Amino acid sequence: MCHGERLPVVLRLALARCGTLGGGLLALVCLGALVPGGLRLGVRRTSCVLCLLGELHRGCLCALGRVPGLIAPAVCRLDQAVRVHQLVQRAVRDTLTPAQRDDLARIAADALTAAWPAIESDTVLAQALRANTQALTGHAEDALYQPDAHLVLYRTGNSLGETGQVTAARDHFQHLTATTRHHLGPDHPDTLATRHNVAAWRGEAGDAAGAVAALTELLQDRVRVLGPV
């Protein structure tokens, strides 16, 4: 039996060690949509995330952590990183139907949004949140535009700008504008909102004239679509 064929067996053993099978599976699935390097969360923020993941108990994750090679032992300390082996992540994702993948992707996006601090004093945490959002988008981008563009997509771009990466923030929102237009259409309020962010970060990046031109064009489209304020 090859290593890949043993993974379902490992998953069953892991779930058997959990206090609640449904909760353990949900934790694995949601973690499987995130980056292999793990997500470090504080106690308060992790509690919020666990609530969004179906009111999991701390003991469930600790049980998973006792399965060798599945989850890093640090998972039992809520102030440390939660890490799942990359092969396990892939195996879990491959068991999902498209509908399950989309539902759980949105749950994971909600969890990331809830974990994001209003003031980013921890640069390592902010970088981890952005990396996890990027990984989640890579696995299930379509789900993050149902029914609208998810807030975590905006939070990622603003996080870049707030940490001084204004050019990266501008580029992020330019890409987000294109994908939002593709998924939701050019006149959707979210598409208009992303265009406003592009203009704002263009200005922050030093292109004042370009920002003014973009805002002028945006105003015309807002009035056309939404009517005069």
What is the CATH class of 147-229? mainly alpha
At a CB cut-off of 8 Å and minimum separation 6, what does 194 contact? Answer: 149, 154, 173, 176, 177, 180
Percent of the chain residues topping a pLDDT of 70: 60
Gap between the Cα atoms of 194 and 197, Å rounded: 5
Gap between the Cα atoms of 124 and 68, Å rounded: 27
The answer to whether 60 and 18 are in contact (CB under 8 A) is yes
Q: Is the pLDDT of residue 123 over 60?
A: yes
The residue ranges of every structural domain in the chain are 1-121, 147-229
User: What confidence tens digit (pLDDT) does each residue in 65-90 have?
Assistant: 444 444 444 444 444 555 666 666 67
What pTM value is reported for the model?
Answer: 0.73
What are the CA-CA distances from residue 209 to residues 13, 175, 180, 201 (Å)?
60, 21, 25, 12
The answer to whether 192 and 221 are in contact (CB under 8 A) is yes
Lowest mean pLDDT among 94-108, 169-183, 190-204: 94-108
Q: Is pLDDT larger for residue 179 or for residue 228?
A: 179
Q: Is the pLDDT of residue 169 over 90?
A: yes
Average pLDDT over residues 160-172: 96
At a CB cut-off of 8 Å and minimum separation 6, what does 208 contact? Answer: none
